[in-house]
Structure 1
């Protein structure tokens, strides 16, 4: 009979590890979206997000009308690597999201919850990084009733549900003067970006299309978040192509990925210029082409071709929905922030011919053949430039109105001669989940070095 092994429990240093867990890859938008996942899992039909700017006392609050949690459940929910089972279609996965998403943005996370309409009992627990730094222990605080901030308690006074409160938002208000105009402007900008992001990521839930879910309402500072459908299905000229089911293998066996392609209309065929600009998306047309990857109806990736091809001005109208369920998480290499996936090799192989056919059709929609050949120029008329002499939509034009590239030596402007570099940077930022950072970089480059921005097509 084998002797039992001698073991020693080694508990990580709370002070050191919790600092590291703040840097697992969340940005502000993805951190908030991860918390929305929890509200959906709790059966919420209404989620209210409030962002209040008040210098160092600024806070973010997420209040839902879900089932709520009792004391035992809320304590377990605050554990890193919580021990719970997830349903097959549930949006959670790692048992880390509530903590890692929140502490990536703030240094004090408080969660309050109420389960019984007939009883006013509210449970509240808190991670305070200052306390962890001092004690070096994995301790949460059971917040007594007389120390709970009004921002936490107010939504629960007359309703059941859960409230998440971020305070001491050091990662959000990273300014030397946190109460200054720059900090305020940055805070408001984040609210605008969050509104767009949530409308995109949860658009199927907001419209009631998500399977086995009730219709969801999200408000941000009292304003309803509007769903953004990347496939413009309400436009008559949108071409919706047949869906296909592709089989791949994960750790739990085979599973199906739904491939649903579409081609959006060219600008002149949209119902209005306003509609055309709206469906351009947060990153605009070139950036938003490609794959929209959904896990259990929740968007994980918004655009980009996942290294299967580069983005091209002439294929910017092509968009594809790829749907998979959590049983294929291992195959897609889903990251903790649920902001990035990698397409499995066998899926790429199956997708390749479908994508090639799609982009071929998208090019035709972008640049339809001319119905009549051009009339011959009168004798003595100068020949047109190689670009066609027109800055409008054409085989080498740009949908954002920029001039097409011109050969050196001609009389026309040079245009974005290195546009492929700009596209490559856009794609890389998309894959890394850093589109918000890139947006700020583009703005700064246009302001400080406009010639360089023009060179690379920005």
Structure 2
């Protein structure tokens, strides 16, 4: 044993194995960014640098097209820029300032490499000269070394010149965008149209992800993102997933969840029914993914949206009758590991300790959303007024769901009473209707064409609505209601709550 006394420990016996530069950088291209998520990652850096304005421009020139993103943030010195261009320049375990939207120290590089083979960054910090650094994947491939170039390519000089008028700020330039434009010719109109359509799609995505920055939340001055221009008409508009300023939106009290000494804030919203919104409002509220896709949780990290809809694998599915349910979850960046935030900052998974409470909150919001969906956003009724229940109701018999017509509904009862002794034909008709409800047809239509169903009486002239109202009014009066109470009760029933003028006129006409 004595002969081994001088042997080095296993931790002292090593060799340096650096990753092959070209292989590593090419591998970073496969992280899985879309153009939308990649550009959002760049804007995270602008916000962290204190920028108040961001100018994003898509320049079309066929295969030589390029994208620039310029901000008026603090900018970087030469040493700071060189470090920022280093892949993995910060550990995800590092403690960050509350307004720092970074995480892995990879965002600028991986986001850019995912779309472009040449990344150039120019920056000016107050009191410093402009500095430039450039990654060129083809050059790295030829040299086989981690060579970060200290100047822009000769052909790129004019493309970063816009930064020259600023005293501080940063400009990111994407060139050789093989995954966006490929080898397209500059005269290829279809390719150009796709490029411009992509720009519009990016604008919608940024308006969603950064809407709380664009809205001047909490008294802070708003961030301005300009897309393909420098004037007001080029501004990216915020998209509020919760329609929080709409008079018909239901919001729940904020719930505070504790997570290892950190606060996670959850607020539920039930959006207005289509019948309570203008057509353009309803279309806008559907969001980039459409109504069904946008239901569920919205997870924000320092006011920046990470997850836009979905139910966080908590056991729910996206369903038509829950599409009005949305919940806002605010997490601090100190809980990144707990929420399993990914490199692209487009995924979050709730910690197991919070799952039960999140389900409880989701159940509450979903229940209310279903009520609003079923009752088409009907308004409440006057205190003391007995509401008229829907003519249809569901029943479960031996575990099977079915639908029945209320025999005690005022109008149904009124018609049945007038049948006299022979009520068998009417009862047979009601049973036939109950047993032949085309449930599967309705379900398929709702799934395939969720917005195609007409609202009640949507295509009928006012006279047809009045005919039904008058018969219902007669039924209530025959049951002993006063004219005023009959009118009040009718206003509790959907869809007649939308026809206040006609209801208030009931019983006032002289024949």
- The answer to whether the superposition gives a TM-score over 0.5 is yes
Cα 1:196–1:184 change in 2 (3 A) is same
Match in the other structure for 1:276: 282
User: Do residues 266 (structure 1) and 273 (structure 2) align?
Assistant: yes
Report the secondary structure of 2:337's partner residue. helix
| Contact 2:53/2:71 (8 A) holds in 1 | yes
Q: Does residue 192 of structure 2 align to residue 141 of structure 1?
A: no
- Call closer, same or farther: CA 1:130–1:40 in 2, change over 3 Å: same
- Structure 2 residues without counterparts, runs of 5 or longer: 379-387, 392-408, 417-424, 455-511
> Match for 1:318 among 292, 310, 325?
325
User: Partner of 1:112 in structure 2?
Assistant: 122
Cross-structure match for 2:67: 60
Paired residue for 2:264, among 257, 261, 284?
257
Superposition map of 1:30-429 within 5 A: 30-83=37-90, 86-116=96-126, 121-143=129-151, 148-174=156-182, 180-209=188-217, 214-222=221-229, 223-248=234-259, 253-270=260-277, 272-308=278-314, 309-368=316-375, 371=389, 373=391, 375-376=411-412, 384=433, 386-387=437-438, 399-401=450-452
How far 1:82 sits from its partner (Å)?
A: 1.1
SS at match of 1:332: coil
Secondary structure of the 1:92 match is coil
Greater share of residues in helix: 2
Q: After TM superposition, give the deviation of residue 56 of structure 1 in Å.
A: 1.0
Q: Is 1:13 aligned to 2:20, yes or no? A: yes
- 2:490 is aligned to none
Structure 1 stretches lacking a partner, 5+ long? 404-458
- Residues 303 and 330, structure 2, Cα contact 8 Å, conserved in 1: yes
What per-residue deviation string (whole Å, max 9, x for no partner) do you get for residues 48-93 of structure 1? 0000111011010000001111111111110001148631331001
Deviations 1:76-111 (A, max 9, x none): 110001148631331001111000000100000000
Query: Does the residue aligned with 2:194 lie in a helix, a strand or coil?
Result: helix
Q: 1:9 to 1:320 in 2, by over 3 A?
A: same
Task: For 1:333 and 1:281, locate their aligned partners in 2 and report how far apart those are by CA, in whole Å.
Answer: 25
CA contact (8 A) 1:314 1:396 kept: no
Given that 2:294 and 2:323 are in contact with CA atoms closer than 8 Å, whether structure 1 keeps it comes out as: yes
SS of equivalent residue, structure 2 residue 261? strand
2:54 aligns to what SS in structure 1? strand
Please, what is the CA RMSD of the aligned residues? Answer: 2.9
How far apart in 2 are the matches of 1:372 and 1:146?
73
**Contact kept in structure 2, 1:47 and 1:219, CA below 8 Å:** yes
TM-score in terms of structure 2 length: 0.72
Per the alignment, do residues 171 and 341 of structure 1 end up closer, same or farther by CA in structure 2, a change over 3 Å counting? same
Number of equivalent positions: 395
Partner of 1:408: none
TM-score (norm 1): 0.80
Cα distance between partner residues in 2 of 1:396 and 1:38: 41
Distance across 2 between alignment mates of 1:82 and 1:135:
22
3-state secondary structure, aligned to 1:229? coil
